Amino acid sequence: MTNYQQALEIHREIGNKLGEGASLGNIGSVYRELEQYQKALFNHQQALEINREIGHKHGEGVNLINIGNVYKNIGQYQKALSYSQQSLEIDREIGNKHGEAIDLDGIGIIYKKLGEYQKAKTNFQDCTTILETIRSDDLWKAQCGLASVEAKLNQPESAIQHYVQALDNLEKLRAGLSIKEYKTSFMRNKIGVYDELIALLQSQHSKQPNKGYDRKAFEIFERKQGRLFLEEMGQSGARRFTGLDNEIIETEQSLVLKRQNTQSLSPQEYTALEQAEEMLKKRIKAKHPKYYALKYPQPVDLETLQNQVLQKGEMMLIYGVMEKNIVLWVIGRQHFQMFTLPVDENTLKQKIENLRALFNPLFKNKFLQASNDLYQTLLPEAARKLIKNAETLYIIPTGPLYGLPFGSLVTSNPKQPIRYFIEDYPISYLSSASLLKIIRDEERKTQPPEPFLAFADPNYPSCNFTLNIIRKIFAKLRSKPETFAGLRTKSYLKSIKGNCFTRLAATANEVREIADLLNADHSKSIYLGNKASRSTIFALNEADKLDDYRYIMFSVHGIIPNKSNQIEQPALVLSNPTKDGYLTMADVFALKLNADFVNLSACNTGCTTKNCSENVRGEGIMGLTRAFMYAGTSRVAVTLWSVDLHSSKDLNIGLFTNLKANQKMAHALRNIKLKMIRGQASSKEYSHPYHWAGFVVYGDGQ
């Protein structure tokens, strides 16, 4: 705002009317963003008068549509319509096709607000035609608007078609973003398009349950999940995906630059660009199938999932959390059914936050009631019947459900003995159903020669590491150019709020016991203190030794993004955290593993937000978890809250004992949890869900 006001003063001083009008328009737009609509109107009106005075038609049109937008914001739709139509006349007069399209889109939105859907449709159609002709990046918006009014006009097939076209254009547009733009979370305010289409399909299924709308909704959900993770991967800067050759990287970057300037290309040049992009996709698919699966995610269709991916006895519970309700798909080899659960996203978030606050023995009765309430909400009776005979249950959560350990849901009523969901089913989690196909399609190497690798008891600064020392680090960082490493360190230091990372001394003995259990050579398998470092991991990786280990364990702290700490990706905190101690999601993509299982026995590694229930559009996928899977493992254990070191030792040793006995992953984890629930662990206190529920496994449950 200050810059625009300074510019306004200068333009007035030198008598530059054109610049004065532009500055007033910019100030008005800022006030509109701040929802100070009267100030916005005042500045846009002044700008309009100046542009009319000097005969600047283009500026006049821009001011008119801006005024229309303000009136639209405050619900004065007739005034909004009048100003938008005046802008349309001017843009047509001066041949401003892009401006004309913007006007038509705005008018379409106003007619939709007024309930005049046929007029809205006509304007969206005209807008779409223009944007297609000029190859505008805004085409998806018009197609989405068109689809939304066709749905209101009870034209579902046409609406579905236009929603799909909007998604196709969105995804193509995102593929042409630069690395810098990746960091701005391109999809964050666009994920709603997927949800609008799913909601339409959901509605149509209730009217015509035999038309396959439920299947289509599932496939759109899978498409959404793949794009969400691609967004998260893009934010991490994971272009240095392991094994990717420089020629492909350079070609990819060259095409990205061309894609950013499509409006300046001739029709022949545009066709050539699309052909080059298609050729690159084929090369990546042939030479780097894992990178192809990341960059061009292919959602699994239902038939493939049932006939080729799911094994006998496996069932899936897939939860699509929508703004107004939850869509639940229950899928098995012979079963498929879609349910609508009547709980809105905000209510669900509050229920989960309340339950997490009750994971304390002092709140036993309240916990039991809240947990059973969520069980009744998330597992309707018909769904329970479908999964009754499941031998392994896969759960795909979204939104606030990432913070819910389903195994802790109480299935018994208050008058019965307490029974938890984990007592009925071995459970494994996935970020999407398609991920299970990717994992199982991967050709695994022979079993690694070394059984176990662990990083534990890292060298963290002492808790006498005071605020004064932190301030010195900040001062030092401020005196230098703002490098990426410096900014990241500042963010991580902010996240601990002046405190220290407490030492995890007990983890040293824990990993020693597991190493002995697995007959592992301590000199090759255990890295403690200063050796539990990021540099050690990359030294092993560069020497091609990381893929020598069957099981890998990180007994360290975790750092997680939230709205206040400006951290863009999750990380494990290794030795000397203020210098070289963060193994980030981007780092993990560069690792080469061949592990059956990676155990992230750290605080909050399973969450992408501080309390796990914050649902930021465009984010929310388990970053470290899926990154480790692409690095070369089919199973990753994470924790949903800060773990108790003593009970976590019981759980980890019990888990590895069961794995050594060749139990399947989901069964091995369930069996040690059952032992704790039944008071058969080293302490009967560990029967409470706080001690076992937060430890969950993502990936292949077999």
Instruction: Give yes or no: residues 457 and 518 share one domain.
Output: yes
Q: Listing from the earlier edge strand, what are the strands of the sheet with 392-396? A: 336-341, 326-332, 314-321, 392-396, 427-429, 695-699, 635-639, 597-600, 549-555, 450-458, 526-529
Q: Is the dihedral of CA 114, 118, 119, 120 positive or negative?
A: positive
Phi first, then psi: what are they for 597, rounded to 5°?
-160, 130
Instruction: Give yes or no: residues 567 and 639 share one domain.
Output: yes
Q: 296, 181, 295, 278: which is closest to 238 by C-alpha?
A: 295
Beta bridge pairs of residue 554? 455, 600
Tokens representing 664 are 């399947």
pLDDT at 544: 92
Phi first, then psi: what are they for 555, rounded to 5°?
-100, 80
| Full residue range of the structural domain in which residue 402 is found | 306-437
Q: What is the pTM of this model?
A: 0.86
User: Are 603 and 613 contacting, i.e. CB atoms less than 8 angstroms apart?
Assistant: no
pLDDT at 241: 59
CA dihedral 475, 478, 484, 490 (to 10 degrees): 40
Residue ranges in the chain modelled with pLDDT below 70: 1, 175-188, 229-243, 260, 263, 463-500, 560-568, 602-622
pLDDT at 236: 47
Query: How remote is the C-alpha of 52 from its chain's centroid?
Result: 47
Alpha helices by DSSP H, listed for 139-191, are 139-152, 156-175, 179-182
In a domain, 373, yes or no: yes
Max CA separation in the chain (angstroms): 86
Distance CA 630, CA 638 (A): 16
In a domain, 313, yes or no: yes
Instruction: Give yes or no: residues 454 and 467 share one domain.
Output: no
Q: 349, 345, 429, 397: which is closest to 225 by C-alpha?
A: 397
Distance CA 466, CA 300 (A): 51
Instruction: Give yes or no: residues 341 and 405 share one domain.
Output: yes
**Scanning the structure block, which residue is given the tokens 């689809």?**
147
Instruction: Give yes or no: residues 541 and 553 share one domain.
Output: yes
Looking at residue 412, which CATH number applies to its domain?
A: 3.30.420
Query: How remote is the C-alpha of 85 from its chain's centroid?
Result: 39
What lies within 8 Å, CB to CB, of 561 at 6+ separation is: 567, 568, 569, 570, 608, 609, 610, 619
Distance CA 259, CA 522 (A): 52
Instruction: Give yes or no: residues 561 and 689 share one domain.
Output: yes
First to last CA, the chain: 57
Paired sense of beta strands 557-559 and 571-573, if any: antiparallel
Local structure of residue 206 (DSSP, 8 states)? H
Instruction: Give yes or no: residues 553 and 605 share one domain.
Output: yes
Instruction: Give yes or no: residues 651 and 611 share one domain.
Output: yes
In a domain, 155, yes or no: no
In a domain, 666, yes or no: yes
Tokens representing 219 are 């496939």
User: Are 258 and 273 contacting, i.e. CB atoms less than 8 angstroms apart?
Assistant: yes
Instruction: Give yes or no: residues 352 and 478 share one domain.
Output: no
pLDDT at 485: 41
pLDDT tens for 207-220 read 999 999 999 999 99
pLDDT at 636: 94
Instruction: Give yes or no: residues 424 and 468 share one domain.
Output: no
Hey, how many other C-beta atoms are within 10 angstroms of the C-beta on 690?
19
Instruction: Give yes or no: residues 597 and 669 share one domain.
Output: yes
Q: Measured between alpha carbons, how far is residue 351 from residues 11, 512, 601, 608 in Å? A: 55, 40, 26, 19
Amino acid at 395: I
Distance CA 588, CA 602 (A): 16
In a domain, 87, yes or no: no
Distance CA 667, CA 391 (A): 9
Distance CA 560, CA 698 (A): 17
Instruction: Give yes or no: residues 271 and 367 share one domain.
Output: no
Length of the chain: 702
Phi first, then psi: what are they for 445, rounded to 5°?
-75, 175
In a domain, 613, yes or no: yes
Task: Give 578-609 as a DSSP string.
Answer: TTT-EEEHHHHHT----BSEEEE-STTTT-SS
Tokens representing 4 are 């625009």
Q: 372, 348, 363, 330: which is closest to 218 by C-alpha?
A: 330
Looking at residue 538, which CATH number applies to its domain?
A: 3.40.50.1460
In a domain, 55, yes or no: no
Number of compact structural domains in the chain: 4
In a domain, 9, yes or no: no
